[in-house]
Copies of this chain bind each other. A is one copy, B any other.
Amino acid sequence: MPVAKGTPLDPGRTREALLSTATDLLYRRGLDGVGVSELCTAVGASKETLYRHFGSKEGLVDAVLAARSDRVVRWLTEAAHAAGPEPAAELAAIFDALATWYAEPEFRGCAIVNAATQRHGAPARPAAARHLGRYLTLLTDIATRAGSDQPQRLARQLLMLIVGATVVADHHDTDGRTAAYAKQAALDLLAVATGREGEPA
């Protein structure tokens, strides 16, 4: 049966369903861990539909990573903004958000970084560079508003902490305190970089 009885036949919705299922499956099993056929079966679509929407598996991966980066960056940015205008509070909020992420049973690290690690080339690698660049923009803004004398340096240090915490939480989280440790380190680095070293714990 080519198309079900009451299907709304909405290309946009079909594309979204493909994207959603692909995001989930590719994250859980890796880019090479799930084939196009299985993906189509899981979403209830045909291969022709997938290739009409995304052109190739690489195109699908590209779309998945772009959407995921948008979602993650927006999520962290909103978490930071909601924590008020204090840079330290925003930073703390970011790591608190990361803590809830790490605690999810489905957590497997950062999908974009993972993808770039699996396929050291297009489209994953440029996507990861862009993704980390967006992180850096967010962190540089916080570092600047905190009064750091070298906001770019502090931002890059904080980026390393976030990325490192994400990888460690994925592969070596012994007690679930990874994000909390990273948060304290981030606040320490912020304090050092802004000259206030003797803050109350």
Contact surface of A with B, Cβ cutoff 8 Å: 28-30, 32-33, 108-109, 113-114, 116-120, 125, 128-129, 132-133, 136, 153, 156-157, 159-165, 167-168, 170-172, 177-178, 181-182, 184-185, 188-189, 191-192, 197-198
Contacts and interface: CB of A to CB of B under 8 A. Distances in A.
A73 to B, nearest CB: 14
A48 B86 CA distance: 64
B181 A192 contact: no
Given A109-B117, A163-B164, 5 more contacts: A30-B120, A157-B185, A160-B164, A167-B167, A188-B192
A26 B162 CA distance: 27
A186 to B, nearest CB: 9
B181 A132 contact: no
Contacts of A167: 113, 117, 163-164, 167
Contacts of A182: 157, 160
A109 to B, nearest CB: 7
Interface hub of A30, A32, A172 (most chain B Cβ within 10 A) = A172
B30 A171 contact: no
Contact of A120 (B108, B113, B119, B157): B108
A120 B28 CA distance: 8
Given A161-B161, A185-B160, A197-B197, A171 B129 contact: yes
A173 to B, nearest CB: 10
Interface hub of A28, A108, A113, A136 (most chain B Cβ within 10 A) = A113
